[in-house]
Amino acid sequence: MSAPTSEPARGTARIPAGVKITATAPVQRAGGGYDEAPTVVLEAPPPPPAAPRAVPADVEPPRRPARRVVPRPKWVVAAVLVFVFVSLLLVEAYANARFTPDHQSEPGDTTIVPDRIIEGGPIINAPPGQEARSYRLPPKTIALTFDDGPDPTWTPRVLAALERYGAKGTFFVIGSQVVRYPELADELARKGHELGVHTFTHPDVATLPQWRRRMEYSQTQLALAEAAGVRSSLLRFPYSSTADAIDDNAWRLLTKAGELGYVTVVNDRDSQDWARPGVDQVVANMIPDGDQGAVVLLHDAGGDRAQTVQALERFIPMMQARGYSFVTVTDGLRRALTDPRTGAAPTVLRNPPADAADRQRGLALASAVRIADWSLQFFALLFLVVGLLTLARTLLLFVLSGRQARRRRGDWSWGPPVTAPVSVIVPAYNEREGIEAAVRSLAGGDYPGGIEVIVVDDGSTDDTADIAASLGLPNVRVIRKANGGKSSALNTGVAAARSDIIVMVDGDTVFEHDSVRQLVQPFADPEVGAVAGNVKVGNRASLVARWQHIEYVIGFNLDRRLYESLRCMPTVPGAIGAWRKDALLSVGGMSDDTLAEDTDVTIAFGRAGWKVVYEGRARAWTEAPASLGQLWRQRYRWSYGTMQAMWKHRAALVDDGPSGRFGRRGLPFLALFGIALPLLAPVIDLLAVYALLFAGRAETVLAWLAMLGLQMVTGVVAFRLDKERLTPLWTLPLQQFAYRQLMYLVLIQSLVTALTGGRLRWHKLRRTGEASVQT
């Protein structure tokens, strides 16, 4: 017979033009199977040479369009994404630096601290080139100072207490808090309270280098400029105390701050409200000796400040009754510097306005912190989503896959034995390393109905076809055709097949002796249109291959049990799958619309109402990529093709009948568990690293171990169902640190490039022929 020359009607598979059958095919026996015949070779004659065309000398011949190949990993893009994400986490970690409540430390040596400072007041000015001086507040004058704010809960309550009694306060703010709650800083400034610098992240500045200290001060100034439009010359170091506790280290810090134009403020009375000793004790700690003035230390953030607010409600009216006035630090300093004879006082601005440049720089700083905050909140939400999806998937796997496995125990069968002849199609492109083992395993199967093996050589440039033809096996035919892609090769085989049951096998795959027989038994159920077999990794020597072995058992075979239970199987693997020929022809055969022709046609079967089932007893051993580069190429094609297939069949989401059932069940499952969950999984790893470095380490380690434990339990269940030894699971923890990251990158690049709708050729992975049946 010769190839058709006209466009085939729907319902027929097409043999590419030029393919010519040159030998007699085996004759089918009346009882099924085929009489023995020599190996038949079908050859496609070379195309006739094109007539030469005259090309003018000044015209450059047109270039042949380059065929797109699987793109190399976009390491630059990935590096930029990782850099941006890590930068956001570092900004967040910096802005979220944890601090402990104020404490009293033992003072060190005071060999360089002037006595007048140790014995002086809490307001210290040490300008460069001038004598350092300290100041006390006048008698019956109190400056209430509040550290660590602003806080959305406690600052408004403190502010309300001050306003109730007409008192003013000085708030030494943390810059990162000002960025997060700018409206509070602005409200404090507008209502006449004073803002001072308490650093940006509340570190122990004595442990920081000078450049970092300056950054802590300047960033707080920028935060004030953006939030309230002001700046401040007042500075209070975190964990500072009274003037008599200033030692040599503190004095160096103080003089360096003076060089930057800051006036340092410590305190006379520490309320110790951070320790929450009780309201009575807080009030007692705030009362000055006699009629002395005092700078009182309190807090409006950093913990539960209910005792602080209650103490203020009692302390302010009590001291006002004694004749005390409550002022800001700057107002108190002005009173201290007022000449008692003339009443002349220096002009000291409470919070001078910030210039436009500082406001703009403050906006940039605030934007960076807020974006980092929003990003962390977003990723925390994704973390929750990933956790819920993982838990839901695990529960579904345990319940539905376990139920499917239990139903098939014992003497369960699909129905009467299937013995109809079977045609096995092997599309091959440069498969010389493994084609002999694959063909021999197929041709020598124990299936009683007869096996016809059709090797379709898709324009190989090696001796794949010659090796297959030279085997001399009576039930093997070889078709040679020009290179047209895997779908074209499969359709050629379907058109040449004489059986109503089609088995499709990759050219690097080895079948077990009973695999064909086991694979076709589900066709005893007339509703079954396709069968997915059990793909095994046949080369497990390398660590990368072992990781794929784990993935095949857990991520593929266990999932197929789940999908079968829900009647939404998305993929019959190209390595081992069986099809009803008439059903395959009715959906148009194997399409080249996507890179995942097996997923494309499987979805088409589901939409057409056919059952697609999983037969775990039919096992095929395939050669998994042994290097990360080869793995990249394979998984990119899979991921990209799956996304294309989902997009192609998107109309199923709104269809009626079987198509709608598959669309509203299978496509969401595939989107959630095949794309969304793997894409979001890096959030777990990145947030785990972030938390390990900047948050609670014990909690992070426990959470990560819990996730790993869940994966390990899933792996044990999957390996038991597949009757596999558990030994390879010891590599599962290592898989989290290399293999998973590559899969992340594959999915991300696939998602981006899938939007272009580009086509890739049938990409050939390098094979070694190492796939074999593992016992």
Taking the CA atoms of 741, 746, 749 and 751 in sequence, report the sign of the dihedral they define: negative
Q: With cut-offs at 50, 70 and 90, classify the pLDDT of residue 68.
A: very low
Q: Which backbone phi and psi does 329 adopt, to 5 degrees?
A: -60, -45
| pLDDT given for residue 67 in this prediction | 41
Catalytic residue among 193, 202, 299, 549: 299
Taking each helix axis as running N to C, give the angle between helix 210-228 and helix 248-259, from 0 to 180 degrees, rounded to the nearest 10: 50
- By percentage, how much of the chain surpasses pLDDT 70? 81
Query: Above 60 in pLDDT, residue 591?
Result: yes
Q: With cut-offs at 50, 70 and 90, classify the pLDDT of residue 257.
A: very high
Query: Above 70 in pLDDT, residue 25?
Result: no
Q: With cut-offs at 50, 70 and 90, classify the pLDDT of residue 21.
A: very low
CA distance 532 to 564: 10
Mean pLDDT score, 222-235: 96
Q: With cut-offs at 50, 70 and 90, classify the pLDDT of residue 637.
A: confident
Pair type for strands 133-135 and 141-149? unpaired
Query: Above 70 in pLDDT, residue 587?
Result: yes
Q: With cut-offs at 50, 70 and 90, classify the pLDDT of residue 64.
A: very low
Give alpha helix (H) positions in 614-738: 628-648, 657-669, 677-680, 682-694, 697-721, 732-735
Q: With cut-offs at 50, 70 and 90, classify the pLDDT of residue 700.
A: low
Catalytic residue among 102, 147, 151, 458: 147
Which range is least confidently modeled, 36-40, 214-218, 652-656?
36-40
CA distance 169 to 286: 14
Q: Is 299 a catalytic residue?
A: yes
Query: Above 70 in pLDDT, residue 1?
Result: no
Query: Above 50 in pLDDT, residue 15?
Result: no
Mean pLDDT score, 647-653: 94
Considering the chain, what is the average pLDDT of its residues? 83
The strand pairing partners of 530, in sequence order, are: 579, 612
Query: Above 90 in pLDDT, residue 735?
Result: no
CB burial class (10 A; 0-12, 13-18, 19+) of residue 381?
A: exposed
Query: Above 70 in pLDDT, residue 34?
Result: no
Mean pLDDT score, 628-657: 86
Mean pLDDT score, 161-172: 97
Helix, strand or coil, per DSSP, at residue 618: strand
| pLDDT given for residue 2 in this prediction | 36
Q: What would the DSSP string read from start to end of 198-238?
A: --SS---GGGS-HHHHHHHHHHHHHHHHHHHSB---EE--T
Q: Which helix (H) or strand (E) holds 307?
A: helix 306-321
Most confident of 547-551, 674-678, 742-746: 547-551
Mean pLDDT score, 602-621: 94
Mean pLDDT score, 498-516: 94
Better-predicted residue by pLDDT, 61 or 217: 217
Query: Above 70 in pLDDT, residue 3?
Result: no
Q: Is 339 a catalytic residue?
A: no
Q: With cut-offs at 50, 70 and 90, classify the pLDDT of residue 384.
A: confident
Query: Above 50 in pLDDT, residue 8?
Result: no
Q: With cut-offs at 50, 70 and 90, classify the pLDDT of residue 479.
A: very high
Most confident of 260-269, 618-627, 640-649: 260-269
Taking the CA atoms of 775, 509, 669 and 605 in sequence, report the sign of the dihedral they define: negative
